[in-house]
Every structure is written in structure tokens, then in C-alpha cells.
Amino acid sequence: MKVLSVASECAPFVKTGGLADVVGALPAALAGQGIDMRLILPAYAQARGLPADGQAVHRQADLYGGRVTVRRARAEGIDMYLVEAPHLYDRDGTIYLGPGGRDWPDNPERFVALCRMAVALCEGADVDWRPDILHAHDWQGGFAPHLARKAQAPVGSVMTIHNVAFSGTFDADRIEPLGLDPADFRVEGFEFWGGVSALKAGLVGADRITTVSPTYARELTTPHFGMGFDGLLSARADVLTGILNGVDLDAWDPAADPDAPNFDTPAGKPAATAALRADFDLPDSDGPLAVVVSRLTTQKGLDLLPDALPDFLQAGGQLALLGSGDADLERQWRQLGAAHAGVGVRIGYDEVQAHRLIAGGEAVLVPSRFEPCGLTQLYGLRYGTIPVVARTGGLADTVIDANDAALKAGVATGIVHAPDDTADLAFALSRLVTLRGQRQIWAQLQANAMSHPVGWEVQAAQYADLYRSLGPST
């Protein structure tokens, strides 16, 4: 079965968050299930390591002000179609944001163009490879299922929500310049609270909808988490499922991580912890060294953490944080790092540092207000870095709280607290200090965490079942 994945980012070539990790890991994970997955991706100036000399399979002389060429490419074991459109993708800034940190004004054109090229492939643009299934990721892929349905392309379609907070909304006056059908500007189409939402186009147009954890799938049907899509997702609950993300076990392997001291049992972790303390200029301490690797946003609860820290620091706990994002939060965390000997802060985006933090940390904190799946708690499990997480979305599905019953049953893997609740977060940190002080229990927790399966095996089978349920040429 052939599946075309439509996404705006893919690790290791171009990444701003977990979406890239998942999109990059799926082809290899699914190959074991007999699924031939290819990816269609914009040929951004920012992408690294992509060959530019593949065979052209499709050309369009003028799409939104310039020429577009779709070329085959293969790198890092991933088969791709690269969409070359210098007028859309070849520019400074980030892949989503221009100068001043604002969305590129032509983001609708940039990603509708990507979706149009995906649909061309569904219609047979590459004579050697035509997909049976179109799998769109997040709003950037949203128009693909919609346009495929309009074109009656012979594919089944899946729309995956990695984060509903990003709806890809723009003004209705863009409908005509984008070449979309004004008749679809209605509640049953891509209209969304008076504007146009690319994500909604996908959620309405796709045969199946998935998101990245079972709990988030349920949460999405509620007003609090659904962010305006709860009504639609409730109505389509019969085709909505949650499939957890997995971890690339080669890229995140404590026994063979090129970026940090290696260990394959918890007994080997102290060397990585010592190296991390040295990296972050943190003094020796008997208390636990916690880490955060995250976008700095209120979604991630990183505005709550400062108020939960004083007692933890007082008890000898320490924190090393790597993150970037919201300017106010960056400033606040820089100040905290300067004010406390036990808090080390690096503002920036740095893959190597991320590995060093996950390897050296004794606990990884993920105090999100909402979290579709979350990846750093999964890395934490693999590295015996005990996750301390909010009870929401994929965090709730992947971490088992160290309460008495779970400890007795030998299944506990972390500490779970109420989301959006500073007092409970502070209590979770006090539990971390206590558990860390109980040598045997802590060792058991680490062992449980490290043996918790976090790979793709189970989930790959779930995706394969989903694709097969749509069958070729549904």
C-alpha cells in the first residue's frame, strides 16, 4: 500500500517541534508493516541535507506568482517529493515566521501550494508511483484532503491533528486569489468562525481523523481543549482516533548517544548528570537535577513553573532549562537563571544540548496546560529521566504516577500532577525530592521507566490498520 504524507516539516531536514520528529520517523516505522510511505515537503532554504537533483515529475508554470517543480528525492532513508518554488519557500527567517516574528503573510499560498502538489501526485503526476492514501499533518496539510475530495482523486485520506491550537486561519478575501471554491465558505466547508481554516478544510474533507494520543482525542471533543473545533470533532467522533507518537529509538538511545555520556542501566547515569551540572555551572547537590527541553509558551506551563520552584530549590533540587519562544518567558527564565545558583538556563534551540539534558537530567518536567502527545517525557522514560508531567493528553497516556498502589505493583514510571495548578506542581516537585531520596524506590522507578516501550512498533501497526481500513482507491 502506498501512502503520501503531506507535512511542513520533517526531521532531520527541517524541524521546529515534535511534528517533524513524527513525520520523519513514520516512513521507517511503517516500512515494517508493508507500507510504502513517501513524503511531500517544501524545498525550503532552511532545509538541510536534501538533494536537489532528483527527477522532476511535475511542473506548473505559474502558481501564486512563480514556477513550481516537484522533484523526487531520497535522503536519510526517506523517499520524498520536494516542492521547489523559490518565490514561496526560498527566503530568510523561519519556515513559518518572517521578520518581527510574525507569520509570513503568504503562508496560505505557501501551504495551499504544497497541498495542490500533493493532490497532483494523487492524480498520477508521477507515473511510477501513485498513492492509495493521502495522509495530511496539521493545518499546513489541511487543504490536501479537501482538494483531493473536490478533484475526486482516487485516494483515501487521513488528517492528523498534532496540535489543534494551530488552525491555519485566514481572511475570506483570500479565497479567490488562492483559487479555492467560494461555495465552500460555509459551516459544512472550510468556514471557521467567520474566517477560513486550513485545518477545518482537512477535518471536514478527510475520510478519517487521527490525533496523537487517545486522551487528546477525547479532550478535543470538549470546549476547553477543542478550541472551536469541538463541535465538528464531536460530530465526527466515529472517525476520530488517537494513536500515540513513538520515539526514534536510534536517535534517542542512552547506550549509544553521540552527544552525551552513554549508559544502559540507571547505574551509569551519574556520569551524565555530573557532565550536565558542569555544562550548566550548577554546584554539586544531594537534591535531584530536573530538566526542561521545550518551546517556551504558556501551552507548556512554563509560566507556572517559576512559582512552583522555591521549595524545590530550598530542598537542594536544581533545574537546567533549554528553550526558546515567547519573548517575555525567555526574559523571565534568563532572570531566574541569573538569580539562582541552582537554576541553569539556555535560551535557544539546540539538538545536541537537548540530548545532553535528557541524558543528564534525573527528572524531566512537562507541566503543560494541554499536550497532544509530548515527546520529551518519552525520551525521559528511555533515559531513566523520571517524567514529572501534567495529567493531560499524551502525558496522561504515557506516564504512570508513583502512587502507593503503582509502586507496590511495580509499574510506576513518573510523577503526575494536575494541569494548570501551581500548588500541585509544587507538590509534585516535593514528591520528586522525597522519591529521589529513597534509593531503592528511585532505582525501581528508573528501571521501570527505561523498560517502558516507547518505540513505534504498536503504533505503526495501528496506522497500518487505519490505512488498510480505507483500502486502495477508496
Binding site for ligand ADP (CB under 6 A): 17-19, 21, 163, 293-295, 322-324, 349-351, 354, 373-376
* Helix extents (H) in 184-235: 198-205, 214-219, 223-226, 230-235
Q: How far is the CB of 295 from ligand ADP (least distance, A)?
A: 5
Q: How far is the CB of 155 from ligand ADP (least distance, A)?
A: 27
Q: How far is the CB of 63 from ligand ADP (least distance, A)?
A: 29
Cell of 3: 501512502
Q: How far is the CB of 101 from ligand ADP (least distance, A)?
A: 16
Of 458, 362, 451, the residue nearest 415 (C-alpha)? 362
Residue 210 or 376: the one with the smaller Cβ distance to ligand ADP is: 376
Q: Where are the beta strands (DSSP E) in 203-310?
A: 208-211, 240-242, 289-296
Residue 11 or 198: the one with the smaller Cβ distance to ligand ADP is: 11
Of 271, 284, 268, 315, the residue nearest 436 (C-alpha)? 315
Q: How far is the CB of 359 from ligand ADP (least distance, A)?
A: 12
Name 121's Cβ contacts closer than 8 Å, sequence gap at least 6. 4, 40, 57, 58, 70, 81, 129, 130, 131
Q: How far is the CB of 397 from ligand ADP (least distance, A)?
A: 13
Measured from each CB, the residue nearest to ligand ADP is: 18
Residue 25 or 147: the one with the smaller Cβ distance to ligand ADP is: 25
Q: How far is the CB of 351 from ligand ADP (least distance, A)?
A: 5
Q: How far is the CB of 78 from ligand ADP (least distance, A)?
A: 17
Of 365, 345, 380, the residue nearest 419 (C-alpha)? 365
Cell of 255: 547506550
User: Rounded to whole angstroms, how far apart are CA atoms 28 and 37?
Assistant: 8
Helix, coil or strand: residue 408: helix
Residue 295 or 468: the one with the smaller Cβ distance to ligand ADP is: 295
Q: Residue-wise over 419-436: b if at least 16 C-beta within 10 A, else e?
A: bebbebbbbbbebbbebb
Residue 144 or 378: the one with the smaller Cβ distance to ligand ADP is: 378
Of 385, 371, 245, the residue nearest 302 (C-alpha)? 371
Residue 195 or 226: the one with the smaller Cβ distance to ligand ADP is: 226
Residue 354 or 432: the one with the smaller Cβ distance to ligand ADP is: 354
Of 368, 389, 375, 370, the residue nearest 431 (C-alpha)? 389
Residue 287 or 419: the one with the smaller Cβ distance to ligand ADP is: 419
